[in-house]
Amino acid sequence: MSQSVGINFKKSSIDALVAGFLALILFGPIVGVLLDGYGFSAEFGRVAWMVAIVVVGRFVMSCFFQTEKGVAMAFRYANNDEGATVLSPNHKSKMVWIIPLVILVGLLVPFVASKYVLTVVILGLIYVLLGLGLNIVVGLAGLLDLGFVGFYAIGAYGLALGYENLGLGFWSMLPIAALLAAFAGAILGFPVLRMHGDYLAIVTLGFGEIIRLILTNWASFTHGPNGVSAPLPTLFGLEFKRRSKDGETFHEFFNLPYDSAYKYMFIYLILFAVVWAVLFIKHRLVKMPIGRAWEALREDEVACRSLGLNHVLVKLSAFMLGASTGGLAGVFFATYQGFVNPSSFTFFESALILAIVVLGGMGSTLGVVIAAFCLTVLPEMLREFAEYRVLMFGILMVVMMIWKPRGIVRVTRTGFAARKGAVK
């Protein structure tokens, strides 16, 4: 490099002071004032060390970005241009090796992990399903949906109420709930066909709230805030309870001592299979004309019209497929909790699922899987810091927006190989 890299300490000091001042404004009232009954006490010490951390951190960062390495790093991240990169046609994905390995490890998990770890992983997989569903709507079709939790609730309540009113078990409700959610997706999809961006976001936000309010207030059917209990899955009629009213239970049939972990193992294995099925279907869909049509719609709606794309069909299919995946996730959530009530389906959940899609990288399957695990498993592992969970989400989001605005895994497209007899 021609320009010598000298560190301008004056500039760094000014940066650090500005950051410190902003931190003072931010942390002063939040951390510095402790409510104590009707009065409050000022905690200057805590503010002081928090601001000190910010000042020192900003100073170090500012110095670092003036070094050669820092400049190179800033350049690399600044060069994040729009869109996906196209891979060469004969690009061999490393996934060919990784996928069987992940499946193998995944199948071993229930037999080696403790019950607690298993429940956390199940929750992670449920969010993977939710993320994949929303990824179709937001990531591929570009329709900003803030009410995705509505479909999740329909799936969960579908299982619980279907069992209570119609006596349908887990296995019959799994497809029915997916269809119900898809149907709800179509109902939501029709009126919003003409909407874009902000307006669509507002309507879908309203939809999510309507579902939650119905579940809370239609007490005669949904039992309101008291919630409903949901059934467990059965293995060819064998139940996973301690004792069964009709027929044998799982542990009696296999002469095992009763263990409540069996049901989680079973739920995990079904869920694991369903997640892989959804991953496979999604992977295929993206390469089919319908997947291309979703992406085309996201990129340029006018062009789609001029190509005679049936945008009603394309938008509705995105909504319905996304919704049905959300419905599936809901069924698993209900059976895993054994109980559902409306407080599980607040706007915060929608925001969390959207965060998964955005962090993972819009349209990227692998990214969504990673992000779903990060955002569900990490908070469990860091239970001591539970109060700071939302703060951590916020920091994570800001950091991602700066350094990886396209998400953890950027979407890549595989090029086409020249075909036989093609013009070269």
Partner 1 sequence: MTSLMEFKEVDVHYGPIQALKKVSLTVNEGEIVTLIGANGAGKSTLLMSIFGQPRISSGEIIYRGEDISQKSAHYVASNGLAQSPEGRRIFPSMSVEENLLMGTIPIGMDHAEEDMQRMFELFPRLLERRNQRASTMSGGEQQMLAIGRALMSRPKLLLLDEPSLGLAPIIVKQIFQILRDVASSGMTIFLVEQNANHALKLANRGYVMVNGEIRMTGSGQELLVNPEVREAYLGGH
Find the shortest distance in angstroms from Cβ 358 to partner 1: 17
- Identify which of 239, 260, 259 has the alpha carbon closest to the alpha carbon of residue 248: 239
* Residue 83 interacting with partner 1 (CB under 8 A): yes
Q: Are 342 and 216 in contact (CB under 8 A)?
A: yes
| Binding of partner 1 by 410 (CB under 8 A) | no
CA distances from 175 to 118, 181, 204, 241 (A): 24, 10, 24, 23
Q: Please count the other Cβ atoms lying within 10 Å of the Cβ belonging to residue 72.
A: 10
Least separation, in Å, of the C-beta of 423 and partner 1? 5
Residue 192 has what DSSP assignment?
T
Q: Give the three-class secondary structure for 330.
A: helix
- Find the part of the chain contacting partner 1 (CB under 8 A) among 3-11, 138-146, 259-267, 296-304: 296-304
Please state the closest distance from residue 363 (CB atom) to partner 1, in A: 10
The nearer residue to partner 1, 96 or 423, going by C-beta atoms, is: 423
Nearer to partner 1, 292 or 389 (CB): 292
Comparison of 39 and 308: residue with beta carbon closer to partner 1: 308
The residue among 346 and 412 lying less far from partner 1, judged by its C-beta, is 412
Rounded to a whole number of angstroms, the minimum distance from the CB of residue 305 to partner 1 is: 5
The neighbour count for residue 228, using CB atoms within 10 Å, is: 21
Candidate segments 72-80, 190-198, 332-340, 408-416, binder of partner 1 by CB under 8 A: 408-416
| Burial (CB count <10 Å: 0-12, 13-18, 19+), residue 294 | buried
Distance CA 139, CA 159 (A): 28
Report CA Rg, the chain. Answer: 25
Q: What are phi and psi of 405, to 5 degrees?
A: -60, -15
C-beta of 293: minimal distance to partner 1 in Å?
A: 7
For residues 180 and 76, what is the distance between their CA atoms, to the nearest angstrom?
46
**394 or 415: CB nearest partner 1:** 415
The smaller minimum CB distance to partner 1, of residues 149 and 314, is found at 314
231 contacts 266 by C-beta, under 8 angstroms: no
Separation CA 77–CA 133 (nearest Å)? 29
Strands 33-36 and 39-42: antiparallel
Phi and psi, residue 197, nearest 5°: 45, -120
Exposed, middle or buried by CB within 10 Å (0-12, 13-18, 19+), for 37? exposed
Report the residue number, 104 or 302, with the smaller CB distance to partner 1: 302
User: Is the Cβ of residue 248 or residue 300 nearer to partner 1 in the bound state?
Assistant: 300
Per DSSP, the three-state class of 149 is helix
Site string for partner 1, 256-295 (x = CB under 8 A): ---------------------------------x--xx-x
Helix pair 115-134, 347-360: axis angle to 10 deg = 80
Question: Which of 18, 52, 69, 89 touches partner 1 (CB under 8 A)?
Answer: 89
CB of 298 to partner 1, least distance (A): 9
* Nearest in space to 135 (alpha carbons), one of 278, 301, 331: 278
Per rule CB under 8 A, count of chain residues that contact partner 1: 28
194 binds partner 1 (CB under 8 A): no
The answer to the question of residue 296 lying near partner 1 (CB under 8 A) is: yes
Per-residue contact flags (x/-) with partner 1 for residues 297 to 336, judged by CB under 8 A: --xx-xx-xxxxxx--------------------------
Residue 423 binding partner 1, by CB under 8 A: yes
Q: Nearer Cβ to partner 1, position 92 or 383?
A: 92
Q: Which of 85, 114, 220, 255 binds partner 1 (CB under 8 A)?
A: 85
Q: In the complex, what is the shortest distance from the CB of residue 286 to partner 1, in angstroms, rounded to a whole number?
A: 11
Q: Are 268 and 110 in contact (CB under 8 A)?
A: yes
Considering beta carbons, is residue 311 or 404 the nearer one to partner 1? 311
Which has the closest alpha carbon to 378: 123, 196, 87, 21?
123
Residue bearing tokens 């039992």 = 223
**CB of residue 416 to partner 1, shortest distance in Å:** 5
238 is an interface residue for partner 1 by CB under 8 A: no
Q: Is 419 in the site for partner 1 (CB under 8 A)?
A: yes
Measured from the CB atom, the residue of 210 and 307 that comes closer to partner 1 is 307
H-run or E-run covering 39: strand 39-42
For partner 1, the binding residue among 86, 166, 210, 401 (CB under 8 A) is 86
Binding residues for partner 1, per CB under 8 A?
82-86, 88-89, 289, 292-293, 295-296, 299-300, 302-303, 305-310, 413, 415-416, 419, 422-423
